[in-house]
């Protein structure tokens, strides 16, 4: 039995309230010992206070895939969305158990971006937002640019950010200290910070992703460097005590070579989520935005989310708004 796995339970008892349900209900497993399970009823996600129940292990069953799909549709039709404060209260009540990522589809504007989904880790304050928009529209503290080692501007999103930032940004990039005689200002996998110039944010964090080879089949070393680029960008944000940051996709353009777009996006999202979970590294950040811009990127991200949910790594709420149906406003 995994944490936060949807199960069918019988004889749910809440000792504090005296509640005793002698029938069947659906719940999320929170803690397992040899004899009993502590669970939270799915329906209690739509109430003001958490409802925790003690259930005998013999009264808990895994749900079949068909039943899980029915439940997801039931959740999708609910009129009340999940309150993050409930998730926090629930986790505080069971401090030894960490609630896994919960993804909720939304449609709202935040910091100048069209946000289509939010990923909450209930025991942490940082929220990872998925935006279907260009990162140059971000009005928060900093954006992350997919730069090259020279850090003076290139093609793709790097060139567009350089253009939107104007002369002040271009000059700031030129003034970055040289690390090597061949014009390197930032090594692959690392990140450096400059002012944002004419951009609506305050800073630009230039993260250098790997240039994937067309011959390499596994890309193992390059994928590690890509993960490091995301992690170091978050560290640069922490060094300046920033509250919000917007990521473009790193190494997802011409640098991608024959590496699949899905793999590149997946590594980036995993790097952000793993850094959020190790909260001591990025404790200042409240909002992280992961931006996809093209329809191809959106489709790849949707496939990643669906695979993570089927594998139990991500719980989906409000599934009536899948990513593939979202459009920029």
> Are 27 and 175 found together in one domain?
no
| Rounded alpha-carbon distances, angstroms, from residue 154 to 65, 188, 253, 256 | 47, 15, 12, 15
pLDDT of 214 reads 79
> Are 233 and 293 found together in one domain?
yes
In total, how many domains does the chain have? 2
> Are 123 and 214 found together in one domain?
yes
- pLDDT by position in tens, the chain (length 329): 333 455 665 555 444 444 445 555 565 554 444 444 555 554 444 344 444 544 454 555 555 666 656 655 554 544 334 444 444 444 444 333 344 577 888 889 999 999 998 888 765 788 999 999 999 999 999 999 999 999 988 889 999 999 999 999 999 999 999 987 678 999 999 999 999 999 999 999 999 999 998 776 778 899 999 999 999 999 999 999 999 999 999 999 889 988 999 999 999 999 999 888 876 556 789 999 999 999 999 999 988 988 887 776 776 654 444 444 444 44
| CATH number of the domain within which 298 lies | 3.40.220.10
Q: Which two tokens stand for residue 98?
A: 């960490």
Q: Per residue in 142-155, pLDDT tens? A: 999 999 999 988 88
Q: Is 1 inside any structural domain?
A: no
> Are 188 and 287 found together in one domain?
yes
Q: Is 128 inside any structural domain?
A: yes
Alpha-carbon span 117 to 323, nearest angstrom: 8
pLDDT of 137 reads 97
DSSP 266-298: HHHHHHHHHHHHSTTSSTT-SEEEEEE-SHHHH
Q: Is 74 inside any structural domain?
A: yes
241 near 140, Cβ under 8 Å?
no
pLDDT of 110 reads 95
pLDDT of 83 reads 46
pLDDT of 64 reads 63
Q: Of 30, 65, 93, which closes a domain?
A: 93
Q: Of 48, 68, 93, which closes a domain?
A: 93
Q: Please confirm, yes or no, whether 158 is among the known catalytic residues.
A: yes
Q: Is 182 inside any structural domain?
A: yes
Alpha-carbon span 128 to 279, nearest angstrom: 13
> Are 42 and 59 found together in one domain?
yes
Q: Is 169 inside any structural domain?
A: yes
Alpha-carbon span 88 to 125, nearest angstrom: 9
> Are 200 and 286 found together in one domain?
yes
> Are 320 and 211 found together in one domain?
yes
pLDDT of 230 reads 97
> Are 60 and 108 found together in one domain?
no
Q: Is 232 inside any structural domain?
A: yes
Catalytic residue among 133, 141, 158, 222: 158
Q: Of 68, 93, 118, which closes a domain?
A: 93
pLDDT of 11 reads 52
pLDDT of 35 reads 46
> Are 128 and 88 found together in one domain?
no
Report the predicted TM-score, pTM, of the whole model to 2 decimal places: 0.70
Q: What range defines the domain where residue 38 resides?
A: 6-93
> Are 129 and 159 found together in one domain?
yes
Q: Which two tokens stand for residue 46?
A: 């739509």
| Rounded alpha-carbon distances, angstroms, from residue 145 to 12, 159, 231, 240 | 51, 10, 13, 17
> Are 282 and 154 found together in one domain?
yes
> Are 191 and 116 found together in one domain?
yes
Q: Is 108 inside any structural domain?
A: yes
Q: Is 149 inside any structural domain?
A: yes
């Amino acid at each position: 039995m995994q944490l936060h796995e949807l199960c069918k339970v019988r004889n749910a008892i809440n000792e504090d309230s005296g509640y005793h349900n002698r029938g069947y209900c659906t719940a999320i497993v929170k803690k397992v010992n040899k004899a009993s399970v502590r669970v939270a009823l799915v329906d209690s996600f739509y109430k003001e206070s958490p409802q925790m129940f003690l259930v005998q292990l013999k009264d808990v069953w895994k749900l079949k895939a068909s039943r899980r799909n029915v439940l997801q549709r039931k959740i999708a039709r609910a009129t009340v969305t999940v309150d993050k404060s409930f998730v926090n209260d629930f986790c505080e009540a069971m401090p030894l158990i960490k609630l896994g990522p919960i993804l909720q589809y939304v449609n709202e504007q935040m910091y100048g971006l069209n946000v289509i989904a939010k990923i909450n880790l209930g025991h942490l304050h940082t929220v990872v937002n998925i935006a279907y928009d260009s990162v140059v529209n971000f009005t928060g503290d900093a954006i992350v640019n997919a730069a090259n080692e020279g850090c003076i501007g290139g093609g793709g999103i790097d060139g567009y950010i350089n253009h939107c930032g104007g002369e002040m940004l271009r000059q700031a990039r030129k003034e970055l200290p040289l690390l090597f005689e061949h014009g390197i200002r930032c090594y692959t996998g690392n990140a450096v910070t400059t002012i944002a110039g004419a951009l609506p944010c305050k800073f630009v964090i230039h993260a250098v992703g790997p240039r994937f080879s067309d011959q390499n089949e596994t890309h193992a070393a390059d994928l590690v460097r890509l993960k490091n680029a995301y992690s170091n960008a978050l560290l640069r944000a922490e060094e300046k005590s920033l509250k919000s940051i917007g990521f473009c996709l790193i190494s997802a353009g011409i640098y991608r070579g024959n590496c699949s777009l899905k793999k590149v996006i997946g590594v980036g999202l995993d790097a952000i989520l793993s850094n959020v979970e190790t909260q001591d590294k990025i404790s200042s950040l409240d909002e992280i935005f992961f931006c996809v811009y093209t329809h191809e990127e959106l489709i790849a991200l949707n496939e990643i989310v669906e695979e993570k949910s089927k594998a139990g790594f991500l719980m989906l709420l409000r599934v009536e708004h899948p990513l593939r149906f979202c459009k920029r406003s």
